[in-house]
Amino acid sequence: MKNTYGSSVAVTIFGESHGEAIGLVIDGMAPGIPVDREFIEAQLTLRRPAGKISTARQEQDPYQIVSGVFEGKTTGTPICIVIPNSQTRSKDYAATRALARPGHADFTAYAKYHGYEDYRGGGHFSGRITAGIVAGGAVAITALRGKGIEIGTHIARCAGISDRPFAADPAADIAAVQKMPFAVLDEQAAAAMRERIEAAAADGDSVGGVLETIVTGLPAGVGEPWFDTLEGVLAHALFGIPAVKGVQFGDAFDLIDQPGSVYNDAFRMQDGRVTTATNHNGGINGGITNGMPVLFRLAVKPTPSIYKAQETVDFFRGENAQLQIHGRHDPAVIHRARVVADSLTALVLCDVLAGRFGTDWLAEA
């Protein structure tokens, strides 16, 4: 399998940036989950470019649910969502297609597909494909919410500026970030990040950062020791988000110099439940949830499409070349990637939970 992920709840994506449409199929979602079109639209809006810190391309994402939903609820059969493409300016691409954009997939797509790839606008590698994941992920988020599971992601760091961490009791923070177009908990940090993004844009450059995701409400005992650790299963999918180059659970790289006596999370009883005093392990021990919030961070590299002139090659001619990118590009995608992380996380968790507790569990009262 290549473009399909998951087993009990499987996601298949399709589409190219400048083809007819992009979309996805979700197979195995429990029957009876409400499909809230306003919520889907709200989620798509969070992904949509907006303002000075995004591309000028206006995407309306007029999605169609062509199967798997009947009378406002999931049927249990495959949900196919199609988002037609429009506003595509394709003519410019042919001339420069062999000039590999550094950091982008032009050359590797060519190496893999031997020139048959649809190269226009990044083709199948375009971030546009994530719109389908967001639309489908909205259904997964609704399903999880029905079981008391909430997902929140904020921009923990961007362009050298750090946000504050989630509060010890994260419910309010999660509710807040879920609706923010620019999901930063600390307003001053948010302002400083925006400033730096705008400065990079002005400079024809781009910035990256770190997303931090928290998941609350997962029961203990979910995940596997080998090889389907919850870490591995989530990371596998998350590395599919364009620009994600690192995934860590809990503190990992950030606490790696500390000894075991610091890194270990002491267990303690609280309100009759097993909890931990700290959460350096991100809520997962031995690949399995321990009942604490699951916490992970994603390294989102700077958008590779920048306006500054770059050294590259023409891979048709096998010659060095100079590249000057035109068109519409984001100086940062991290704020748009945020809702993609939430959506994909929700889809993967639906898969893991349906595998653990059965195909109907997500819809049970």
Cβ of residue 307: shortest distance to a second copy, in angstroms? 10
Cβ of residue 312: shortest distance to a second copy, in angstroms? 4
Answer whether 99's CB lies under 8 Å from 321's CB: yes
Cβ of residue 42: shortest distance to a second copy, in angstroms? 22
Q: What is the DSSP string of 191-203?
A: HHHHHHHHHHHHT
| CA pair distance 44, 135, nearest whole angstrom | 6
| CA pair distance 346, 135, nearest whole angstrom | 12
Cβ of residue 204: shortest distance to a second copy, in angstroms? 8
Residue with smaller CB distance to a second copy, 80 or 174: 80
178 contacts: CB under 8 Å, gap ≥ 6: 150, 151, 152, 342
Residue closest to 36 by CA, chosen among 12, 65, 57, 16: 65
Cβ of residue 110: shortest distance to a second copy, in angstroms? 8
Residue with smaller CB distance to a second copy, 39 or 263: 263
Residue with smaller CB distance to a second copy, 77 or 181: 77
Residue with smaller CB distance to a second copy, 32 or 181: 32
Q: Which two tokens stand for residue 283?
A: 């809520």
H helix runs in the chain, sequence order: 37-47, 93-96, 106-113, 130-146, 171-177, 187-202, 230-238, 260-263, 334-357
Residue with smaller CB distance to a second copy, 110 or 178: 110
Cβ of residue 141: shortest distance to a second copy, in angstroms? 19
Answer whether 28's CB lies under 8 Å from 359's CB: yes
295 contacts: CB under 8 Å, gap ≥ 6: 166, 212, 213, 214, 215, 249, 250, 279, 282, 283
Residue with smaller CB distance to a second copy, 44 or 105: 105
Cβ of residue 175: shortest distance to a second copy, in angstroms? 27
Cα-based distances in Å from 177 to 164, 190, 292, 306: 12, 12, 20, 28
Residue with smaller CB distance to a second copy, 180 or 313: 313
